[in-house]
Structure formats: structure tokens, C-alpha cells
Structure 1
């Protein structure tokens, strides 16, 4: 007998993720919200960490940034955070990446 109608067919398999998978904008927005409250000009209370992703100046310079991260545009901060993540992984943001389930 034919199977009853009603959508009991198996769901199609999801498309494979591109390698390496580029995190969606939503991931970066969530990381920025966790790290800095989404404030691109914020500086940590100890003066060491700047901007959306709380870069140290040394780390910022290591991914090609100039000046202070907290003075760069949000788009540049995100671009350089993506460069850092591609090079060094989510562990660069240990608390927030764990909280967001990224590692």
C-alpha cells in the first residue's frame, strides 16, 4: 500500500558547509555584543582592550591594524577580527566564544 500523505518523507540533507566555513554576520554581532556591548569605541577599564572585539593594540597590529582599534570603523574591526579568527581560532575570545558555543 502507498504511504499515507502528510509530509512523512525524510527531510533533505543539509548542504555541506563550505570549507573553511565563514561565520555568519550573526555570529560576529553576537560576539561583539558579548565582548563590548556592541560599542565600537569602548576601551576596557584597564586601558588594554579596545573596540567591538576587545583587541589589544599588539594583536590589532598583528592583523594589519593601525592606530587604536577603538578608533577604527566597526566594519574594519569586524574584518580584522575575522582575520584573527581565521589565523588563531575562537580561543582569542575565550569567555565569549565558549558562552556562544563557538568552541
Structure 2
């Protein structure tokens, strides 16, 4: 009896969805951001994984930002003087704007291109917290 009622309710909902013209499939989710292990490889290549790196070559911090790029993603001051969390956030922000293109090491490491990296929205600090390895990556979307 209960099973029949559930089927009837399910059929009624399905018919209502179809009648309203709503799609029956879920929209494709954006691919996930790179794993924390991928970011760790990038940091290791760029700066030996050191957030406070300033070698005097005009590039700073774990992700070797130059100052115009750092400022383009909202960074203040110099990247090497920013907290690791701030650098991680700005790196994810840049990744979502431009994919791996800004990082020479990404090409050297053969990091896989993310076809929709540039279509993703501005991250939150919570979303970027996983980059440093402290949290799992958030689900795609």
C-alpha cells in the first residue's frame, strides 16, 4: 500500500515537472578545482613550498606572484608578507580567472588544463582553505 502511494506520488511529480517544461537532467557541474596535492606540487616548483619567498627577482611568495598580478586578484602589500591562507586564496582566485596560464611551473609539471577554470566564480576563503592541505576540496559547482 505505501509502496503504491510512493509510486503514485513520484509519477505525479514527474508529470508536473514535464508539464512545467523543466529539464529532467541536472545541469552539468563545473569540474572540481585542482586537488591540494596539485597545489603542493605547484608551490614546490615555484618556491620550494615557501610562502615567505622573496628572491629579489620581482616574484613573491609560494605562488611567485608579481605585484601587478597580485593586485589584479585583490592582494594588498606584497605576497611574501601575506599569510599562507591569503596567498592560497589569491592563487585560487587567479586560477579561476586564467587557469594554469600564469604559472610557468604548471606547464613544466604538465598540470591538466581545466576547460572551465575561467568560467568559475570568485572563490570564498572557505573554498580556498583546502589548498594548503588543511581541508578537503569543496564539491564542484
TM-score w.r.t. the length of structure 2 is 0.56
Residue 74 of structure 1 corresponds to which residue in structure 2? 84
Give me the whole-angstrom Cα distance separating, in 2, the residues matched to 1:79 and 1:44: 22
Task: Give 5+ residue unaligned stretches, structure 1.
Answer: 1-16
Residue 19 of structure 1 is matched in structure 2 by 30
Gaps of 5+ in 2: 1-27, 114-141
Output aligned runs, 1:36-55, within 5 Å: 36-46=47-57, 48-55=58-65
| Kept in 2: contact 1:44–1:54 (CA 8 A) | no
- Residues of 2 paired with 1:26 and 1:18: CA distance? 22
Structure with the largest fraction of helix? 2
Over 3 Å counting, the alpha-carbon distance change for 1:98 and 1:49 in structure 2 is: same
More RCO (CA 8 Å, sep 6+): 2
Please state whether the residue corresponding to 1:35 is helix, strand or coil.
helix
Correspondence 1:100 to 2:109: yes
Alpha-carbon separation, structure 2, partners of 1:88 and 1:44: 25
TM score, norm. by length of structure 1: 0.75
RMSD: 1.6
Residue correspondences, number: 85
Q: Which residue of 2 aligns with 1:28?
A: 39
